[in-house]
Chains A and B, each alone.
Chain A
Amino acid sequence: MTEVVLAVVLGLLFALGTFLVLRRDVVRVTWGVTIISQATNVYLVTMGGIGGSIPILGHGGGGHGNVTDPLVQALVLTAIVIGFGTTAFALVLTYRVYQEHGTLDLREFGHEEWDGVNR
């Protein structure tokens, strides 16, 4: 049962993320990317198998029979930390884009002339 619910949730999250990434508004694009990377994290957790008992044996009396894979949880922790950093950067960049262009609409971005002068 949990598997089906999770699969549906994952599908919805990826669909929502993709929908947002394809918007014209930069903020929505950023949210879309964030949602997709979070959906990936959830997907990663499911890879360890759901419904097993706690991975650390001998503590708190758990750990009988089918044990959930602890490695994927370590992976997800790493991915979450990385995702946190990139999301923060993407949001700052979004704000900066607004400052530079005065708009958040991707179609209204001027195509400035490149002359190779970098300052």
Chain B
Amino acid sequence: MSDLVVAPLIVALLTAILCLLIRSRSQLQRGVSLLGGGVYLVAVGLLFRAVRSDADRTLVYQVSNWKAPYGITLVADDLSVIFLALTAVVSLAALAFSVRSITAAGQRLSYHPLYHFMVVGITGSFLTGDLFNLFVWFEVMLMSSYVLVVFYSGPEHTRAALQYTVLNLLGSAVMLLAIGGLYATTGTLNMADLARRLAAPDAYNVAVAPVLGLTALLFCVFALKAGIAPFQFWVPDAYRAAPAPVAAMLAGVVKKVGIYAIIRLYFSIFAVVTIPTGTGIEIGGQGLWIGTGAWSLVPSTGGGTFLAFFGPIILVMAVVSIILGGIGAVGRDDLDGLLAYSSIGQVGFIVLPLAVAATASPGDQLFQLGIVAAIIYSINHGFAKGMLFLVSGTVSEAVGSLKFNRLGGIVERDPVLAGTFFVGALSLIGVPPLSGFFGKLLVFDVAVTAQNTVGLIVLVFALSGAILTIAYLSLAWTRGFWGAPSESVDQVNMVPTLVAISAVLALVIIGLGIGFQPLYDAATDAANAAIDTQGYVDAVLGGTGA
């Protein structure tokens, strides 16, 4: 039964290889590519069902039957499958979109193999239970995305790709440094084993203070992948340079890999660790405390948990992302740029509840609620932003420009496309009954439940962020879609297939909002899976403590 865990990985890998082999037969290649995307969706669906009907709710696959912690382990639990489901749906839609929107020459140019290799990397990152393996999957994902970003190879594209590549190569080096250090201090790379050793540092002779520093280093890498401030600057250029379906994948799914890694590692693996007293800067023995509980101005004060250290950092990063992304988006004069900046702001909204959760102790209800909010917001943002990038791709395909001064009046030329954009925008703003409403509601709910200084800060910035979201999306709507058709819009026809694909995703968003309960249940289970460190350890290591 647990063989099912590798199914999505194998499907994506086989599709990629097959697409590479039949590169010369363009029609066939497109068919195989689409079919592969469909089978991937089915495989993920089966895995989703298998995990949810499993007694432990965790399926473990030991690669080549090398038992953890010696071999590489693939783990599928509620947390991984919910992100896999998002990947499957968004990637199939983006794939269908690219079959029509990428030129024939472009498709011959290895677009499909690259796309599927990117999916392989994403899938592996969600499934792996091994730190070094996570690095390898990250590289698989990034290598393909480098080429996809530079796909059109114009001057702007090479510049954006250079920036993106150099930054991520540096990120990879830093990640390797952190992983090597973690291996040297803890003596293991398996995540479950790591959790077990860190829970009893004395028994396994682990020095906790260096682990804290190394995890902070690792955190920078995940923040870079997720595009959280201050690591956000590569986002706008890379998203604008990439073909529309690739931008949809980068914003919708690849960003969530960073978020997933943060939740998995910091909220389940490292959450249990207590920083030994006497670490870092202490002023007056207590550190400079503000607010209540575990919040201190000097984060590395001893005695707190790892999360209490990361909490304030995540909070500042989230707040800066929201404001920076929001203001950046308001100032854009093209649709793609606006959406890219909006991505920075929306990721801020995703990590904001995580910052609140970090203030609570792992057993607390607030801890769980924060993770639930982050997951639901991620899922909603994945669908909505993915769809909005597809809409902008459709517009750019037909009109040949995304500058607002050349757009306008699309609502009269193509009401369906405009309606699709409207749904996506409303979902990002958070209007009921769309899924975005529940995402926003939960973020505010978390802030109110916290009832402390942090909650107040979160509330203030979430509100201003929400207002900024309304501002830039209504700007995009009025300048790009509303009003009388501009000269360049009036003469063109949108490609019906492309419009239909975006419309399908819009229906998914509406469906998720109206039938919200299953998504909420799945997200709650995912959060519980993240919290249940012991269950994860038992499932991976067989509960024997070997």
Using a CB–CB distance below 8 Å, which chain A residues touch chain B? 21, 26, 29-30, 33, 36-37, 39-41, 43-44, 47, 71-72, 75, 78-79, 82, 85-86, 89-90, 93-94, 96-97, 100-101, 109-110, 112, 114-119
Contact = CB atoms under 8 A, between A and B. Distances in A.
Given A21-B170, A36-B173, A96-B153, A114 B162 contact: no
Contact of A114 (B146, B147, B156, B166): B156
B162 A44 contact: no
A36 B167 CA distance: 12
Contacts of A82: 136, 139, 172
Given A29-B166, A43-B177, A93-B150, 7 more contacts: A21-B166, A71-B189, A75-B180, A85-B143, A116-B240, A117-B396, A119-B103
B169 A117 contact: no
A44 B180 contact: yes
A94 B173 CA distance: 19
Interface stretch (B75-83, B333-341, B444-452): B333-341
A97 B147 contact: no
B409 interface: no
> Which of B158, B166, B169 has most A Cβ within 10 Å?
B169
B265 interface: no
14 contacts: A47-B180, A71-B183, A89-B146, A90-B165, A93-B150, A96-B158, A97-B158, A97-B162, A100-B154, A112-B154, A114-B156, A116-B401, A118-B243, A119-B103
Given A82-B139, A115-B334, A26 B162 contact: yes
A82 B132 CA distance: 13
Consensus secondary structure, chain A interface: helix
Interface of B: 103, 132, 136, 139, 143, 146-147, 150, 152-156, 158-159, 161-162, 165-166, 169-170, 172-173, 176-177, 180-181, 183-184, 189, 240, 243-244, 334-337, 392, 395-396, 400-403, 406
Report whether over half of chain B's contact residues are helix, strand or loop; otherwise say mixed: helix
Contacts of A75: 132, 180, 183
B348 to A, nearest CB: 24
Contact of B402 (A41, A43, A115): A115
Nearest to A41: B176
A90 B158 contact: no
B172 A78 contact: no
A54 to B, nearest CB: 20
A116 B402 contact: yes
